[in-house]
């Protein structure tokens, strides 16, 4: 499935639209048998299930799927697209080849974690307003006291083995 046309700032040439999903190519592949280009996710199922090009019914097999021509890839890679999280408030548009990186670091990512100023635990941004600081702090205390116990055990063992060595 391609990218929604509305997400792009500039006008989209017909050369960049997948004839199966009618969206802008995502990971475009071309068929060596007929030179038609589709999103990989769109053509993948068809090759497996029907064995022929959906536009001209040329016979195809999985070895017929090739990387789309470089001019298509180059063209796509610099097209500016709105961030996936524009509904969450991100106003950024980035070239398609930087979308993945931007999405990972986008401060509007709904699952991005930020530090709560009360309990100082990292929580998902969307849960910040309704999370329970006390519960998180209890968990943290449990975790830390487990660690303290482990350390105590470790040093007790060390200590007794030292004592043993001293006595002998
Ligand atoms: Zn498609
Ligand atoms: Zn074809
Ligand atoms: Zn963003
Ligand atoms: Zn908190």
| pLDDT digit string, tens, across residues 111-122 | 888 889 888 888
Q: Which ligand is nearest to the CA of 132?
A: 4
Question: What is the mean predicted confidence (pLDDT) over 75-86?
Answer: 95
Length of the chain: 168
23 and 60 part of one domain: yes
Instruction: Provide the domain limits for residue 92.
Output: 5-105
Same domain, 23 and 81: yes
The phi, psi pair for 99, rounded to 5°, reads: -60, -45
Q: Which of 92-96, 118-122, 159-163 has the lowest mean pLDDT?
A: 118-122
Q: Is residue 141 domain-shared with residue 62, that is, in the same domain?
A: no
Nearest ligand to the CA of 65 is: 2
Whole-number pLDDT of residue 50: 84
Distance 5 CA to ligand 1 centre (A): 12
Residues 131, 96, single domain; the answer is no
pLDDT of residue 141: 92
Give exposure, 106-124, as e/b (b: 16+ Cβ within 10 Å): bebbeebeeebeebeeebe
- Whose atoms come closest to the Cα of 59: which ligand? 2
- The domain boundary, picked from 105, 123, 146, lies at 105
């Amino acid at each position: 499935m391609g990218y929604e046309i509305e997400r792009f700032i500039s006008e989209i040439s017909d050369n960049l639209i997948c004839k199966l999903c009618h969206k802008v190519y995502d990971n475009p592949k071309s068929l060596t048998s007929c030179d038609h280009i589709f999103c990989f996710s769109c053509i993948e199922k068809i090759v497996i299930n029907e064995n022929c090009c959906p536009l001209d019914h040329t016979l195809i097999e999985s070895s017929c799927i090739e990387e789309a021509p470089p001019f298509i890839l180059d063209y796509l890679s610099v097209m500016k697209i709105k961030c996936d999280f524009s509904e969450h408030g991100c106003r950024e548009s980035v070239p398609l080849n930087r979308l993945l990186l931007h999405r990972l670091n986008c401060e509007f990512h709904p699952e991005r974690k930020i530090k709560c100023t009360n309990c100082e635990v990292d929580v998902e941004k969307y849960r910040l307003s309704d999370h329970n600081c006390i519960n998180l702090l209890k968990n943290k205390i449990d975790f830390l006291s487990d660690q303290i116990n482990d350390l105590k055990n470790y040093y007790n063992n060390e200590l007794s083995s030292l004592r043993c060595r001293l006595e002998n």
